[in-house]
Amino acid sequence: MEIQAAIAKIDKFSSNEEGNKVEIIERPNGGVSIVMAEGTLGGSRSKGVTMKAVHSVLNLIGEGVPDGASARVVLQRIRDEHREIANVNISIISCDLQSNTIVITKNNPVPILIYEEGESHFLPLSQDAESRRYDPMVYQFEFQLGQTFILLSEGVENAGIYNDNKIDLLTALGAIYDDDNDEPSVQDVADNLLNQAIGHDSDQPRDDMTVVVLKVSPATTRNIRREYVSFPIKKNIS
């Protein structure tokens, strides 16, 4: 088996400051973790809080601290430092080779999509989101071939909500698989779902949008690790 992962993201329309950030790291005992965060300070988007959260979580995971504990420590640090006027949504998805499981850690109610056995569904999340703001929930799944997990930012979840054209995430994901004769790659899924969300916002995203896709697949390589990055360069207009 192998883990395939892909990320697709776009910034809020006509904004030069990222509201969310996503990073990937190899785990010290084997596997990978993908960390996504969206931070606010005093009710406004905060790149500084977001980056601090992501980098702090990555550092702790790199030291071998479990995902849930890493998120909990970082959230408490931010809470103490900013006297509760800062808030961060943290979502972590990990392939943990020590336990042979997929581990998902979240402190927010943004849905997680799962595609398995030809069906799309949501991962049931804790309903008491406010109580989990600083105490993330952890969900664990044994490896299952073909199982695909999709993490989303709020911008994707709320795509189209302001123009009465809100995205139906299950329908959107189902269409990606229905429209292809061959199984779509994880990058195809991420790109397609992001493009559908952008379309629901009339091609002008009202918030940063991020899609993270992770899939357990049959091995296709000779133990070769691959990474691919495509990063647009924005021209500064003076």
The domain made up of 2-217 is a member of CATH 3.60.40.10: yes
Q: Which two tokens stand for residue 10?
A: 């776009």
pLDDT tens digits along 15-65: 666 678 999 999 998 889 999 999 888 767 788 889 999 999 999 999 999
Planar angle of CA 212, 120, 122, nearest 5 degrees: 70
Planar angle of CA 24, 26, 31, nearest 5 degrees: 110
Q: Which two tokens stand for residue 218?
A: 């049959």
Percentage of residues in the chain having pLDDT higher than 70: 86
The secondary structure element, H or E, covering residue 41 is strand 31-41
Q: What's the pLDDT band for 230 if we cut at 50, 70, 90? A: low
Predicted local confidence at residue 124, as pLDDT: 82
Average the pLDDT over 207-217 and give the result.
92
CA distance 94 to 230: 22
CA distance 25 to 32: 6
Q: What secondary structure letter does DSSP report for 237?
A: P
Closest CA to 100 of 62, 144, 51: 144
pTM of the model: 0.89
Average the pLDDT over 74-99 and give the result.
90
Residue 3 CA neighbour count, 13 Å, CB half:
24
Q: What's the pLDDT band for 236 if we cut at 50, 70, 90? A: low
pLDDT tens digits along 151-174: 999 999 999 999 999 999 999 999
Q: What's the pLDDT band for 179 if we cut at 50, 70, 90? A: low
Q: What's the pLDDT band for 238 if we cut at 50, 70, 90? A: very low
3-state secondary structure of 126: coil
Give the N- to C-terminal CA distance of the chain in Å, as an integer: 50
Q: What's the pLDDT band for 177 if we cut at 50, 70, 90? A: confident
Q: Where are the domains of the chain?
A: 2-217
- Whether residue 146 is predicted with pLDDT greater than 50 in this model: the reply is yes
Give how far Cα 55 sits from Cα of 26, 30, 50, 74, 234, Å.
Answer: 14, 19, 9, 10, 23
pLDDT tens digits along 8-28: 999 888 766 667 899 999 999
